Amino acid sequence: MEIQVGDIVKLKKQHPCGSREWEVLRIGADFRLKCQGCGHQIMIARKLVEKNIKEINPANEE
């Protein structure tokens, strides 16, 4: 699965604020994600992220 820093990922379950979209801030054994709805940041295991991804919107590279 090709995920890069800056990509917006859409997850199966929504955040309590109602958003399903998260920006990838850090990649490693864990991912740091930032909610696009409220700005809350979380660290989550790579395995859980890859299992729950519904869609990936790549970052705009200019």
Q: Quick one: average pLDDT of 13-34?
A: 95
Q: Quick one: average pLDDT of 5-23?
A: 94
pLDDT computed for residue 44 by the predictor: 95
DSSP state for residue 26 in the 8-state scheme: E
Mean pLDDT, rounded, of the chain: 92
Closest of 22, 26, 31 to residue 5, by C-alpha: 26
pLDDT computed for residue 14 by the predictor: 92
Residue 36, φ and ψ in degrees, nearest 5: -80, -15
Length of the chain: 62
Helices (H), the chain: 46-52
Closest of 16, 7, 12 to residue 60, by C-alpha: 7
Domain-by-domain residue ranges, the chain? 8-57
Question: Distance (Å, rounded) from C-alpha 62 to C-alpha 50?
Answer: 26
